[in-house]
Amino acid sequence: MSATGSTLPRRALGRELRRLRTAKAMTQADAARAGETSPQSIGRMEEGQSTRVTNMMVNALCDAFSATDVERKTLLGLVQEVRSARERGGGWWRAYADQIATDFDHYLALEESASRLTAWKVAILPGLLQTPEYRREIAWAESPDAPADVIEKRIEWATRRQTRLENPHFTVDVILLESVLRDQVGGSTVMAGQMHHLAKVAELPNVSVRVVPFSARSILGSYVGSFSLLEFPELPQSKLVEPPIVYVEEYAGDLYLERDAEVERYRHALREINRVALDRGKSRSLILSVAKGYAE
C-alpha cells in the first residue's frame, strides 16, 4: 500500500464490519446502537468512506457481532492502519483539490495505492502517459473559459501524478486502440511529441504499451469502451488484500465496479483485447511510424 493513503484500510475495515454484521443478521441501526453512533456513520464505515472510527467503537461492534479473537485483532489492526495513514497526511494531490473533481480525487487515492494498473483506451491517452502539451489541449477543451493560470495548475498536478511511473513496484499495462494514436489532439506537432513520449515511456521496465490495430478482427474492445482495472497489494499489518476495482471514467460521472461478476466480465474483455493486440515491439514500431507521419 502507498505510504500516503488510507483508502485501502478503510475499505477493508468496512468490508469486514459488514461481513460480521450480516452474518449476525443485524441491521445498520442495530450496529449503530451497539457502537453508540449513528446508522449513517455505520453506513459510511462499511462503504470505506472517511469517518471517525475508534478502538472503543470497534471493540463494541466486535462484542455485538460475536467476533473471534482473530477477527477482533484484524479489525483493530485496520483501525491503526487508517489512523497511521491519516497522521501522515493526505495524498500529494490535496494541494490541487480545487482543480480535481471529487470523483477523480477518489480515483487518485486508489491509483496511489495500487500495485498494478491495466488500462484499455479507445479514445484519449491515459493521464499517466500524456505530455503537458497534450494535456493542455484536453484542459482547454474541458474548460474553454478557464483562466490560463488555472489551466497551468492542472498541467502541474497532471505532471506530478506521472512520477508514480518511477515506482518499480507499480506495474502499468496500457492497451490502446489505434484510433487513440490517430486522433489529432492539438494538431500534428503536439501529436508527434506525444507519440515520441509514448514510445519512450514504454521502455520503462514496469510499463507496457500495446496497440490494437484497425485491422484486428475483434470488436469487443470497441463495444466495451475504455476502462481501467486496479489491483492492490496486501495491507502491511493485517495482510488482507483488497479486491480489484474496475474504473470507468465518464463525462457526467465515474463508475467504480467491484463485484466479482462485474470484474470478471471486464477481465474477460481484457483477455480478448490482449489476444488481438500487437506485441510490445510491433506496437512501438507502429507508434513511431505514426509519429513520423505527424512530423512530415
73 versus 102: the higher-pLDDT residue is 73
The residue among 264, 295, 249, 256 whose CA lies nearest residue 120 is 249
Confidence of residue 1 (pLDDT cuts 50, 70, 90): very low
Report whether pLDDT(94) > 50.
no
Phi/psi for 202 (5° steps) reads -65, -15
Contacts of 245 (CB under 8 A, 6+ apart): 110, 229, 230, 256, 257, 258, 263
- Residues 145-171: what's their mean pLDDT? 92
Report whether pLDDT(100) > 60.
no
Q: From CA 116, how far away is CA 83, in angstroms rounded?
A: 25
Contacts of 60 (CB under 8 A, 6+ apart): 34, 35, 36
Q: From CA 252, how far away is CA 118, in angstroms rounded?
A: 23
Report whether pLDDT(150) > 60.
yes
pTM of the model: 0.75
Report whether pLDDT(270) > 90.
yes
99 versus 274: the higher-pLDDT residue is 274
CA-to-CA separations, 180 to 121, 255, 275, in angstroms, rounded: 7, 22, 19
Q: Which domains does the chain have, with CATH numbers?
A: 7-88 (1.10.260.40), 96-295 (3.30.870)
Q: What cell numbers appear for 35 in the block?
A: 457502537
